[in-house]
Amino acid sequence: MEQPPISDYAFLSDCRSGALVGRDGSVDWWCPDRFDGSAVLARVLDPAAGHWRLAPLAPSRVERAYRPDTLVLRTVHHTPSGSVAVTDALAAEAGARGHELGMNSPAVLLRVVEGLTGRVRMGLDLAPRPEHGLLTPYLHEQADGSVLAAAGPAVLVLAGTGPALRADRDRVRQEFAVAAGETVGFTLAYAPAYGDPPVRLDPVAALTDTTRAWQAFRESHHYEGEYVPQVRHSAVVLTGLTYARSGAVAAALTTSLPERLGGDRNYDYRFSWLRDFAATMRALWVAACPEEASRLFAWAARSIGRIGDAPVPVLFGLEGERDLSEHDCLHLRGYADSRPVRLGNDAWRQRQLDVPGEVISAVWRLHEQLGDTLADELAEMVVGLADQVAVTWRLPDRGMWETRDADRHYLSSKVLCWVALNRAVALAPQLGGRADPRRWAATRDEIRATVLREGWNERVGAYTGAFGSPELDASALLLPLVRFADATDPRMRATIEAVERELGAGNGLVRRWSTDPAGFLLCSFWLVECLVLTGERDRARRLFEQLLGHANDVGLLPEQIDPGTGAHLGNTPQALSHIGLVNAAWRLTDPTTS
pLDDT at residue 589, as a whole number: 96
DSSP 501: I
Nearest to 166 by CA among 146, 137, 191: 146
pLDDT for the residue 3: 87
- Partnered with residue 76 across adjacent β-strands are 63, 85
Rounded to 5 degrees, φ, ψ at 351 are: -90, 120
Q: What is the predicted pLDDT for the residue at 97? A: 82
User: What does pTM read for this prediction?
Assistant: 0.96
Asked if residue 340 has a cis previous peptide bond (ω within 30° of 0), the answer is yes
Give 219's contacts (C-beta < 8 A, 6+ positions apart): 69
Name every residue whose Cβ is closer than 8 Å to that of residue 289 and which is 6 or more positions away in sequence: 221, 235, 238, 239
End-to-end Cα, the chain, rounded Å: 48
CATH architecture entry for 6-219: Distorted Sandwich (2.70)
**Could you count the other beta carbons within 10 Å of the beta carbon of residue 473?**
27
Angle between helices 355-370 and 411-427 (to 10 degrees): 30
Enclosing H/E stretch for 86: strand 82-90
pLDDT at position 288, please?
Answer: 63
34 burial (CB, 10 Å; 0-12 / 13-18 / 19+) is buried
pLDDT of residue 2: 74
- Give residue 474's pLDDT: 98
Maximum Cα interatomic distance, the chain, rounded to a whole number of Å = 77
What span, in angstroms and rounded, lies between the C-alpha atoms of 57 and 298? 49
Nearest Cα neighbor of 7 from 511, 544, 556 is 556
Going 586 to 269 to 2 to 560, the CA torsion angle's sign is: positive
The one-letter code for the residue type at 212 is R
- Strand ranges (E), 69-171: 73-79, 82-90, 108-127, 138-141, 147-151, 154-160
pLDDT in 10s for each residue of the chain, 594 residues: 478 999 999 999 999 999 999 999 999 999 999 999 999 999 999 999 999 999 999 999 999 999 999 999 999 999 999 999 999 999 999 888 877 787 899 999 999 999 999 999 999 999 999 999 999 999 999 999 999 999 999 999 999 999 999 999 899 999 999 999 999 999 999 999 999 999 999 999 999 999 999 998 777 777 889 999 999 999 999 999 999 999 899 999 999 999 999 999 999 999 999 988 778 877 877 776 667 777 887 888 889 988 888 888 899 999 999 999 999 999 999 999 999 999 999 999 999 999 999 999 988 987 777 677 888 888 899 999 999 999 999 999 999 999 999 999 999 999 999 999 999 999 999 999 999 999 999 999 999 999 999 999 999 999 999 999 999 999 999 999 999 999 999 999 999 999 999 999 999 999 999 999 999 999 999 999 999 999 999 999 999 999 999 999 999 999 999 999 999 999 999 999 999 999 999 999 999 876
Distances (CA, A) of 207 to 64, 150, 203, 214: 17, 25, 6, 11
Q: Rounded distance, CA 213 to CA 565, Å?
A: 38
Residue 62, H or E segment: strand 61-66
Angle among Cα 524, 280, 358 to the nearest 5 degrees reads: 95
The DSSP 8-state label assigned to residue 183 in this structure reads E
The answer to whether residues 586 and 576 touch, using CB atoms and an 8 Å cutoff, is: no
* Nearest residue to 413 via CA among 424, 405, 403: 403
| Amino acid code (one letter) for 519 | G
Exposure b/e, 361-370, CB count within 10 A at least 16 = b: bbbbbbbeeb
- Give the domain ranges of the chain: 6-219
Give the model's pLDDT for residue 485: 98
State the Rg of the chain over Cα.
Answer: 24
